[in-house]
Amino acid sequence: MTSIGIIANPASGKDIRRLVSHATVIDNNEKINIVERIVLGAQSMGVDKVYVMPDSYNMGYRVEDKLKLCEELKCEIEVIEMIRTESIDDTVAAAAFIEENNVGCIITLGGDGTNRAAAKSLKHVPLIPISTGTNNVYPVMLEGTTVGLAAAAVASGTFDKRLFTSRDKIIEIYKDGRLIDIALVDAVISNDVFVGSRAIWDTGSIEKIIVTRCHPASIGFSAVVGCRKIIFPHDDYGACMDINMGNNAVNAPVAAGVVGRIPAGEPAILDFDDECLYVSKDRGTIALDGEREIEFSANQSFVFKIRRNGPLRVNVVKALETAQQKGFFEA
């Protein structure tokens, strides 16, 4: 049986950054439309079963009902049985279920935070991230139909996955020698005292940014580093940079429609064997991929390391090209 998994985060793209920028809004009805097209594309190329994360908007059930009503559903849709917490833990748990059940491919609909949560559980199942969130450095805008086709090709097991997948980098965060969390794109240290609304948006509170990748074409805090140094996903290093210090500044796209002038130091390259040590002088928080997750007090030490221990990410275009060259689409 050929199967794929879908995690559609109903909370993605709804944080405070929508109020302080001009970001595009993708509501849950549009996410349902995207999931429908994924299912239709995937089942047309041999996918028998689609696992869907349960959520408060019942997206999996709505897709199933609509496609049955239209008499277009040919595969089986199974909404994963799990205890919902309406938090990041739902994504972590759904990704763990998909990983443990040897599903052929997983598709996420969300932003950087959604994919970070999925990455906590994913080791072997290839990932296709679709952008429906606020910070979208990691996922990209993709058409659901072609994503379904690519997922079917990946899940078929017919092709050498090394032709179209690559292992992503992550930031590992250590406290007292113990790994406490990860980030896919950036870790931002700020003097904001409380987690609060989670999303970090006040550039004046930032002390340091650690990145796995950065580019001025991105939106978010990694772009601050990217305006000084471009680091690609395939580069075997990351960087850290002190913020709001010194006389030099960069103009960086920190949010949709928001270009901020931010004092910044020079980026320091972090090779895979390097450690970035941070010792707090006062209270603050660490935001991971745009969301404040870790609170700290004065005189606490954290170590940040760049590792290539992230998800196995699918290049959709290369997957479709490989499938075409091997005759996958021949009727």
Confidence class of residue 201 from pLDDT cuts 50, 70 and 90? low
Residue type, 258: V
170-307 maps to CATH 3.40.30.10 = no
Q: Given this model, what pLDDT does residue 186 score? A: 97
CATH of region 3-168+310-325:
3.40.50
Contact 156, 4 (CB under 8 A): no
What tokens were used for 58? 């019942």
Contact 49, 75 (CB under 8 A): yes
What tokens were used for 262? 């931010």
- Give the residue range(s) of CATH 3.40.50 domains in the chain: 3-168+310-325
Q: Given this model, what pLDDT does residue 194 score? A: 65
Of 79, 80, 113, residue with least CA distance to 11: 113
What tokens were used for 300? 């606490």
Count, residues in the chain? 331
Place of tokens 């240290």: 189
Place of tokens 């006389």: 247
Asked if the model's pLDDT at residue 15 lies above 90, the reply is no
What gap in Å lies between CA 134 and CA 326, rounded to an integer?
37
What gap in Å lies between CA 26 and CA 29, rounded to an integer?
8
> Tell me: the pLDDT tens digits for 284-324?
999 999 888 999 999 999 999 999 999 999 999 999 999 99
What tokens were used for 13? 């793209």
34: Cα separation from own chain's centroid: 17
Helix (H) / strand (E) element for 20: namely helix 17-20
Confidence class of residue 97 from pLDDT cuts 50, 70 and 90? very high
Contact 165, 318 (CB under 8 A): no
- Give the residue range(s) of CATH 2.60.200.30 domains in the chain: 170-307
> Tell me: the pLDDT tens digits for 202-246?
788 899 999 999 999 998 999 999 999 999 999 999 999 999 887
What gap in Å lies between CA 10 and CA 291, rounded to an integer?
16
List the beta bridge partners of residue 3.
49
Contact 110, 140 (CB under 8 A): no
Instruction: Give percent of the chain with pLDDT exceeding 90.
Output: 82
The 8-class DSSP code of residue 169 comes to P
What gap in Å lies between CA 303 and CA 187, rounded to an integer?
11
What gap in Å lies between CA 209 and CA 188, rounded to an integer?
5
Q: How many CB atoms lie within 10 A of CB 324?
A: 12
Of 40, 330, 325, 318, residue with least CA distance to 154: 318
What gap in Å lies between CA 201 and CA 97, rounded to an integer?
33
- Helix runs in the chain, H state only: 17-20, 28-43, 59-69, 88-100, 112-119, 144-155, 222-226, 316-325
Confidence class of residue 247 from pLDDT cuts 50, 70 and 90? confident
What gap in Å lies between CA 252 and CA 258, rounded to an integer?
8
Helix (H) / strand (E) element for 190: namely strand 186-190
Calculate the alpha carbon distances from 278 to 68, 186, 205, 237, 240 in Å: 54, 15, 16, 18, 11
Place of tokens 């080791």: 123
Between 135 and 62, whose confidence is greater?
Answer: 62
Average pLDDT score over residue span 55-71: 97
Q: What is this structure's pTM?
A: 0.93
Which of 9-13, 71-75, 201-205, 225-229 is predicted least confidently? 201-205
Average pLDDT score over residue span 35-54: 98
What gap in Å lies between CA 168 and CA 184, rounded to an integer?
8
Across the chain, mean pLDDT equals 92
